[in-house]
Chains A and B, each alone.
Chain A
Amino acid sequence: MNRFNAFLAACAVVLSGTARAEDTPETEWQKVQETFAAAIEKGHKSTVALEVKAKFNVPPDPKPLPGEMPNTGRNPAYTKRPKTPTTGFVIDKDGHVMTSFFNVDGKVESIKVLFPDGKSAAGTLLGVDESKDIALIKVEPEGLELKPIEWVEKQPEVGAFVMALGRSPEPASGTATRGIVSAVDRIDQTFNAIWEQSIQFDAKTNYGNSGGPVIDLNGRLVGVVAHVRLHSPWGQNSGISFATPTWKIKEVLDKLKAGERLKKPKLPFLGVGPKESSTLVVIGTISPDSAAEKAGLKPGDVVRQIDEVKIGEWGDFTNYIKKKKVGEKVIIKITRGEEELDVEATLGERPNNQ
């Protein structure tokens, strides 16, 4: 292949007569990069910086998982808030600006929207959807040249090129990172900021990207970048990012315009952890004040059955609990030493950091 390229280059040099000896043979990337640049330029016309003054809700530091090093990073605040502006984008000429819920999560005092042309306007928060990590802001459109972002008609498939646009740290020039769609319809209520179907992609996103648009090669909106979480089961964030797709936004857009605040559902929580290096389903830890503690479960109890479901491995146990609701009762059949016991537990709420 190299020889082929070299041959082409040689042809080009001989035939054109203008190429210089120091020129590197042309690659397809010279054309491809202009496609990237054009899509970014188009998408950036709708991308805005947000300066949000708020008394933010600060999530507790994530609890290290078994075997995981605690976060001893130089600045644990990375898991919380960026210092610079965050990002949003214009969705219509009426002055609706979309961003992530994370960017307005708290008691909002003021929102300043900085447009690409240098103009700025005060924004008011209309509605939020916590499970989708999205929020809608309104600015007075008078005197502004709003350039609404174009939406994709169909969610791109795995492997499609996407780009994440940001307006931070420097709102005037903006940022852009490229990747591909890695997976679609991801649902993860343990580690993700988004609790509903989301797009996983591998463009690098940073704290200032939160709330910015993910676009396709035509500069059209694919989704909204969820806020970055440092926490992952393997300790380090590998660089994958998540976005709420356009079809999920459409589901609630009218509600957000009407000012509704859609909360995250409460997740059920029993409060038990597995005993490591055990082939049976053995309880290793009991969370303080949890349903498990109140029900009298103890470390060392072997779980055999929950309600009518036989438990073969730990996953069976947790999957069953995930399907229940807060306040529901479950009966757990356990073996404690020689005894076989039925324990009744009333499921509680999962704490924020677990």
Chain B
Amino acid sequence: MNLLKSALLGVLVAGLPAAADPGVATHEPVVERVSPAIVALQCKSPPRAGMGGGREMSWFGTGTVISEDGAILTSATVVPPDAITDSILVSFAGGKQMKAEFVCGSAELEVSLVRLPKGKYPYVPLGDSKALKLGHVVYTFGNCQSGGQNGGVMENDDQVAFAQGEVSGFYRISELFEGKGWYEGATYKGAVIETTAPLNPGVDGGPLVDVKGRLVGIMTLSYNETRWLGAAIPMHVLNDRVGKWQKGELVKDVPKVEPKKPDPEKPVEDDPDAPYLGATFEADEPVIASIVKNSPAAKAKLQVGDKILSVEGKEMKSPASVAKALKAKQPGETITVVVQRGAEKLTIKVKLGYQPM
């Protein structure tokens, strides 16, 4: 097939004017294939504490049509999981606008699925995000002029923005964060594909597309502090949940409110509500059994074998009591811990972090 194509190329090139664009190195086929399936989204959500003065919140960004029947995958920073259903407006390149229905969303995965009215739509087929290697060519698409007077309305925005780059890294956002993302609402902290394709606010929710024009990720604006390049949530992380949503199984994030009995067998960091220390304890004594690298415990120079005598002046008798004392604190707070290390009693300050996800 390649041979045949080369032969065809030879014949055709010979027949073309000498100044013709060699064409083979263009990104046009992918742009043409993908652009019609890129939409701008805007919606409203109920007021948020401490944001927008108690008014309804406006959200906007990019979305990608992922199936012929009009399912649109976007970021939870564009259509939040609590979006007001009939507020979702979809704009296609060229200016055509339609209402969409909210299907389901996840803050943990930072994506939402919305659905267009019944019909046949251009869409971006699913690619294999696991097959990507460093150096592979990828594209991002955006369809949002941010900051419009009406909360990002796309007046006059009749074209899709396109950027090309390569896959430049694979890592987990949680390894780098000390706190939250840079962008209001960015909640995903798992594995990402980093790309050199430029991206801006408004491209969140847009697709990362491979060299064959297939969907391999959803752009997140949860930048990390060490690498300033764009990052995408890989589709292999999303496929399972999004697939269920498409079939009507509206699986939501596991609620985090269930009160749990502290289990002394379990390491403290397993409790998602507790601020993060990054240490595990012996079964029946508040003696440190292991310390996670780069964790608050490691940074405070706590050591394996240290026996926690008190936290914030309160005597500690069991791993469960340490867990309870931590739970009373917030990530980012600094606590004073007294430990027994050999014959020494040491007072150590620990700045608590956020739970890795």
Contacts and interface: CB of A to CB of B under 8 A. Distances in A.
Interface in A143-174: 163, 166, 168-170, 173-174
A204 B196 contact: yes
Contacts of A169: 169, 171, 175-176, 224, 226-227
A166 B229 CA distance: 13
Given A33-B211, A177-B166, A5 B136 contact: no
Interface string B152-193: 000000000000001111111001100000100000000000
Interface string A71-87: 00011001000111000
A36 B135 contact: yes
A350 B334 CA distance: 42
A28 B135 contact: no
A30 interface: yes
Nearest to A75: B225
B306 to A, nearest CB: 21
B166 A28 contact: no
B133 A177 contact: no
B1 A27 contact: no
A345 B4 CA distance: 77
A173 B192 CA distance: 12
Contact of A176 (B168, B214, B225, B228): B168
B135 A37 contact: yes
Contacts of A41: 133-134
B252 interface: no
Contacts of B5: 8, 11-12
B194 A36 contact: no
B3 to A, nearest CB: 11
A206 interface: yes
A178 interface: yes
B295 to A, nearest CB: 14
Contact of A15 (B1, B27, B34, B214): B1
Nearest to B194: A175
Contacts of A7: 12
A44 interface: yes
B211 A207 contact: no
A137 to B, nearest CB: 21
Given A175-B227, A178-B196, A29 B168 contact: no
Contacts of A82: 226
Contacts of B227: 168-169, 175, 206, 208
Given A169-B176, A177-B166, A208-B227, A30 B211 contact: yes
B168 A23 contact: no
B23 interface: yes
Given A29-B25, A177-B166, A204-B229, A4 B12 contact: yes
Contacts of B229: 177, 204, 206
B38 to A, nearest CB: 14
Given A8-B5, A37-B135, A175 B25 contact: no
A24 interface: yes
A293 to B, nearest CB: 40
B32 interface: yes
B18 interface: no
Contacts of B125: 22
Interface residues of A, number: 51
Given A33-B166, A33-B211, A170-B170, A178 B135 contact: yes
Contacts of B103: none
A82 B176 CA distance: 11
A207 B226 contact: yes
Contact of A2 (B1, B16, B32, B226): B32
B33 interface: yes
A33 B165 CA distance: 11
Contacts of A176: 134-135, 166-169
A27 B226 contact: no
A5 B28 contact: yes
A75 B182 CA distance: 12
A107 B57 CA distance: 51
A2 B168 contact: no
A214 to B, nearest CB: 14
A74 B29 CA distance: 40
Interface string A166-206: 10111001111110000000000000000000000001101
Nearest to A166: B169
A169 B174 CA distance: 11
B344 to A, nearest CB: 23
A40 interface: yes
A39 B133 CA distance: 11
Contacts of A15: 1, 4
Interface in B181-222: 182, 194, 196, 211-214
A166 B134 CA distance: 11
A27 B30 contact: yes
Nearest to B12: A4
A36 B9 contact: no
B134 A27 contact: no
Contacts of B172: 170
Nearest to B20: A1
Nearest to B26: A27
B171 A173 contact: yes
Interface string A34-62: 00111111001000000000000000000
8 contacts: A1-B23, A7-B12, A8-B9, A9-B29, A27-B30, A36-B166, A37-B133, A176-B166
Interface of B: 1, 4-5, 8-9, 12, 16, 20-21, 23-30, 32-34, 125, 133-137, 166-172, 175-176, 182, 194, 196, 211-214, 224-229
Given A28-B24, A177-B168, 12 more contacts: A2-B32, A5-B29, A24-B30, A33-B135, A33-B136, A36-B137, A38-B135, A44-B134, A173-B171, A175-B194, A204-B229, A208-B226
